Structure 1
Amino acid sequence: MCEIFPEVQTCFTILSIRLGMLFIAILSIATGAITLGVTEKAANYGMNKVVSVYNNVTNITKPEEALSGLSGIVTTSICAMSLIFMMAGVCLLISTFVDQEGYAQAFIWLIMLNILIGLLLILAITCECLTRSKCYLGDMDWLSGAMILITIVFYLILWYYFACVANTYVLNRNT
């Protein structure tokens, strides 16, 4: 981390970008595993429901059914984001141990994909909750739901910073 902020190098001499990347890799794997476990437990969502969501989405005939089918897509997207977080963490872990910047680039692109999916997911949850058909945040009042969505946005910004840290490693390796 000291390569990003040179003025703190005297304070944190034990920190390095590789140690920071190791922390980010472990955090990415843990984020994916925890999110996947909580989503599966809270929504009682297994592989059978994931397959049935895709079957239900392809058989939509009325506009009202489209928004009610959105809740299944939201949960499936959260599961997909969790898996992408875990794959990205494994890529960064391999990059840290093997000292290959190609795996770090894979981490960067997977995190950028996750950020894009996350922003689309926030938009989908917002549209779903505005129509009041079946809301993913339906058990909360409007203030709690809004705070959850804002927290998710800040969390995605944090992952953008982590991708920038990995990009710093890639750029330092190429020079």
Structure 2
Amino acid sequence: SEFVYNKLPFYKKIISNFEIDAIEKQIETEFNSPVTTSMGRFFDAVSSMLDCTHSSSFEGEAAIHLEMLADSDEKGQYDIKIDNKDGMYVIDDYHIFSQIFGEVLNEIPKSKISAKFHNTLTNIILRISQLIGKTYNIDKVALSGGVFQNNYLLGKCFDILKNNDFRVYCR
């Protein structure tokens, strides 16, 4: 896959050509590129794409910046693709990143992009909850982990899950 970070207007201040070459080689060979289930890395990547946080001084810093940026009036979200691979639901993050990337290049306000990102995560959590709920006849969802320290995301997830007849547990 093509490394497109260099199309972002601010990339020269955060990454060198040497680093780009190294990253491209890592992507090609999948060297030191473990699969992760961490939502935190998703926030880190989007925060960097928005030129907010490129290097965090503490865990969750990028997510905090995105939460503070989010325009609560924005109702839009990005299109999602969820695949079932051997009984495991996998989100096509590249599909989401490419939509965000396009909006960054089109100079859509960061507050709108951040809100749409949060709304997208909310929709992903709902969709996966529905898929798992239907498969296993479950109506309970626990919102746990560091990502739910984000009150914006927690509130949206709590509301949408409750409105879709899930029993929601948090905090």
Q: TM-score, normalised by structure 1?
A: 0.28
- Kindly indicate which of the two structures has a greater share of residues assigned to strand: 2
RCO (CA 8 Å, sep 6+): is it higher in 1 or 2?
1
Q: TM-score, normalised by structure 2?
A: 0.28
- Kindly indicate which of the two structures has a greater share of residues assigned to helix: 1
